[in-house]
Structure 1
Amino acid sequence: MMGTRVLPLLAAAAVLAGCSVLPSWVPFTGPEKPKPAELRPNPNLIGVREAWKASIGKIDFPLVVAVHGNTAMVADSGGAVIALDADTGRELWRASAGAPLAAGVGSDGTTAAVVTRNNELVALSAGKELWRQKLNALSYTPPLVAGARVFVLGGDRTISAFDGATGRRLWTQQRQGEPLVLREPGVLLAVRDTLVVGQGGRLSGLNPLNGTARWDAPIATARGINDVERLVDLVGRVSRVDDSICARAFQAAVGCVDAAAGRAVWTQRASGSAGIHGDAAAIYGTESTGIVVGWRRDNGQRTWTNDTLLHRGVGTPLALGRSVVVGDSFGFVHLLSREDGTLLNRLATDGSGMAAAPTAAGNTLVVVTRNGGVYGFAPQ
């Protein structure tokens, strides 16, 4: 996904339940746009082929691909939601949310959920609408569908739970924070019997039955003299291995939290704005300049950096097999070595840039572009 860049406050946008919302990306308006790095020759060191291609409408919201087994669910800006067989690209079902989308897709494999720009939470199953519920504020984070419930992280920092079968609101909790939030997916996941949520620069563990707090662990603390400088919201995706959850705070830090103990293990300053991913040994992320970085998972020390993709708008990575997969704003997908960050292979799409972070579904790498191209790549 394209790296996040912040608008000046005088151009900042809508007021949302007391919070201003900054767009996830805006065109560069400085005196001289940095020149993207020229691509080096493709070494083609690992075999990857395009297995299939599907199409949806254009995408201008922060899409997250929902995966359950071999099924990948995607959505477009107009409200179409599609489930695909990740092995073949065959369409399993298609539905409409009835309005343009602001967030999606979340799914447990049976129920899919999205949020419209009309502030409606819409639940779907097998191509049919189950229910819809009005929200108090817009959300940019895909709903979490888990435990027969649907959880929503609102742009006003509310956390709400809904009955998965009926849509009945079960509880709502709100935490105060800085006055600005990002128009970007936040952190919302289930870890054992705890709902883990990003609120400002902190990871919080909540009781999913009633929303009460169990623990709170800081990744970054707001600093600065204005609201933009103090913005440290946690951004998705995160890297989870058992009880270790690692996340990025916008333009401030990366860090890992022990969810069993409810404490921060380490944090390191980092200037990126896109989510991270990782494995048991390391986590991987991109900086705002386009540098790709690996950190040791146990202590946060850097293991390698790759500066060959400067100013190419690289976004959230995916750790997959031998590779760290990153897409750029020119429609290329780069497969870097987990060991040292060197280029292993490069894949081309339609040139419109990434609309979602690369995602693994079964044995397939799924990539979605802003023009609505959905690509399935498989190892040869």
Structure 2
Amino acid sequence: MLKLIRTGTIAAMAVAVFISGGIVPAAYAAAPVVSFSFPASEPIKAPLQKPLWTASYDKNANNVVTDDGILFTFSGGKLIALDVNTGKKLFTYGNKLRPGAAYLKGVVYGVTESGQVYAVNVKTGKGLWQTSAGVSNDITPSIFSDTLYVTKDNAIIALEASTGKQRWKSIEENSDFSGGVARESDGIVYAIYMVQGALTTVQLDAIDKKTGKKLWEHIRQNAPLAVQNGLVYSVVDEYPFDDADPKRELNISVIDAKTGTIKEKQTYSWKLVSTPPYSRDSAGSVILDGKDLYLATDSAVLKYDIAAYEKDGKPLQKWTKYSAGSSLIGSMQAGRIFFANHSTGRITGMKLVGGQSISFLTDNQPVQTDIYGNGVYIGQSDGVFHGYNLQTTAPAFTVNTGSRNYGQTLRSGNTLIIQARDTGKLIAVPVPKALL
């Protein structure tokens, strides 16, 4: 009887295996719907740099260094002065301060939580003055020569840097937003506001530095590229281009600094070589070095003499642009111009002699790049920070920061200050001689 049961069981199992003429497969782990492998980039091989010192600071503070080796940061709402080379605390000032500082000629300036502006002597740590009333929306004031500028809603307020006394207040009625001072030149203050109409656009104001009287305004004009020989060069804020039309142009208004009269409009035209949809660099970008205007299109870099403009004139030089989807940024350094890719966060360069493209290879996404002298400093999203040689593009050192986000890298002398924002750490490292 036992044998019969076993035989029946085996027969039943056999029937279960053979269903609809097919064999039921054995159970396996689930297979992915999509599977794709891509090789990781080669790791950057550079010496690991040991920090000179580290210090904690209030996250997202706008710290500043002086040219004589003092770092100003914020901790617990207080202004802290540190020796750049040693990290030694030199003095502490105030409380309930906004985390931002500006420095000029032996004085550091900042704003309290209640909007009062203050000035501190950087050698003694003693307060020089503090405004009696809250006047500022700013975290960090702007300073040019002998004047401090702060904003209050749609007004710009000028303060005497030595005393804090208010010189004037200029209100821009066309704007619902706070503006900002872009530059000073020959007794004129140039301010930028956002104004609303059919489209939100930018407005350029010229203000008399002594009186605060508005001399003139121009809508759809960006901050000046330059002010030279009584003329203001400003790029026009273009309305969106027709996406189906490959024709593009960049216009620069040449404005009389005193009267605001547009003396000339320089138009630089080109045709896109790509097909729609066009990348964000299709509108073109420019930098100005003296009288040399560099215009980057989607496929080329063109050089013009801005002081000898001719309608439909040919460029003085032309280079192939290899960094697609990127725009000109910063200023020329060591015979190189630079581009920022707004999709990848990478900074690339081009040598003006020969037109060779240069890049600084990273092994993770770059999130902060700063260039000083012959050094290129890149903070990555994986918490690793690299220093590179600008001339050779070779990596020079590596620092482990543990941060995904960074403030602007600071440098004073041969000391570099990394601002690791996620961890609230300042990390000081020595700059190799080759990068100075």
Q: TM-score, length-normalised on structure 2? A: 0.55
Bigger-Rg structure (1/2):
2
Aligned to 1:121: 117
Letter of the 2:379 partner, please give it. Answer: G
| Cα distance in 2, alignment partners of residues 180 and 59 from structure 1 | 26
In 1, are the aligned partners of 2:82 and 2:88 still within 8 Å (CA)?
yes
Instruction: Note the C-alpha offset of 1:162.
Output: 0.8
SS at match of 1:314: strand
Query: Aligned letter for 1:101?
Result: R
Q: CA deviation at 1:340?
A: 6.5
Superposition pairs of residues 110-259 of structure 1, within 5 angstroms: 110-125=106-121, 126-133=124-131, 134=133, 136-140=135-139, 142-152=140-150, 154=151, 156=153, 158-174=155-171, 188=182, 208-210=209-211, 216-219=232-235, 221=237, 223-224=239-240, 254-257=285-288
- The structure in which a higher percent of residues are helix is 2
Residue 169 of structure 2: SS of its match in structure 1? strand
Cα drift, residue 364 of structure 1: 0.9
Match of 1:244 in 2: none
Distance 1:57 1:70, change over 3 A: closer
* Residues 319-343 of structure 1, C-alpha deviations (whole Å, 9 max, x = no match): 2343211223443322234246554
User: Distance in 1 between the 2:65 and 2:171 partners?
Assistant: 26
1:369 to partner: Cα distance: 1.7
> How far 1:106 sits from its partner (Å)?
0.5
CA pair 347-285 structure 1, distance change in 2 beyond 3 A: farther
Question: Take 1:297 and 1:208, find their aligned partners in 2: how far apart are those partners?
Answer: 39
What corresponds to 1:42 in structure 2? Answer: 44
> Does 1:357 find its partner at 2:408?
yes
Q: Which amino acid aligns with 1:114?
A: G
Report the CA distance shift for 1:198/1:49 in structure 2 as closer, same or farther (over 3 A).
farther
CA deviation after TM superposition for structure 1 residue 113, in Å: 1.1
CA distance in 1, matches of 2:148, 2:172: 19
Corresponding residue for residue 326 of structure 1: 378
Using the TM superposition, give the Cα deviation of residue 163 of structure 1 relative to its aligned residue in structure 2, in angstroms.
1.4
1:256–1:297 Cα contact (<8 Å) kept: no
Structure-2 change in CA distance of 1:274 and 1:138 (3 Å)? farther
Cα gap change, 1:187 to 1:41, in 2 (>3 Å): farther
In structure 2, the partner of 1:105 is 101
Letter of the 2:413 counterpart: G
CA contact (8 A) 1:278 1:318 kept: no
Rate the CA distance shift 1:320–1:272 in 2: closer, same or farther, 3 A: same
Cα offsets for 1:293-339 (capped at 9, x unmatched): 3455989x8843457466x3612x32234321122344332223424
Contact 2:117/2:134 (<8 A) preserved: yes
In structure 2, the partner of 1:367 is 418
CA positional deviation for 1:93: 2.0
Secondary structure (helix, strand or coil) at the match of 1:150 reads: strand
Aligned-partner Cα distance in 2 for 1:172–1:359: 33
Does the 8 Å contact 1:80/1:94 carry over to 2? yes
8 Å Cα contact 2:296-2:327 kept in structure 1: no
Gaps of 5+ in 2: 1-38, 195-201, 216-229, 242-279, 298-323
**2:66 aligns to what?**
67
Distance in 1 (alpha carbons) for counterparts of 2:53 and 2:166: 38
Q: 1:86 to 1:167 in 2, by over 3 A?
A: same
Partner Cα distance (2:119, 2:43) in 1: 46
> 1:203 touches 1:219 (CA, 8 Å); kept in 2?
no
Partner of 2:430: 378
Shift of residue 75 of structure 1? 2.8
1:265 is aligned to: 293
Deviation, 1:280, is 4.7
Answer yes or no: is 1:287 the counterpart of 2:341: yes
> Which residue of structure 2 lines up, in the alignment, with residue 240 of structure 1?
none
Partner of 1:230: none
The number of aligned residues is 302
Give the AA of the match of 1:119.
G
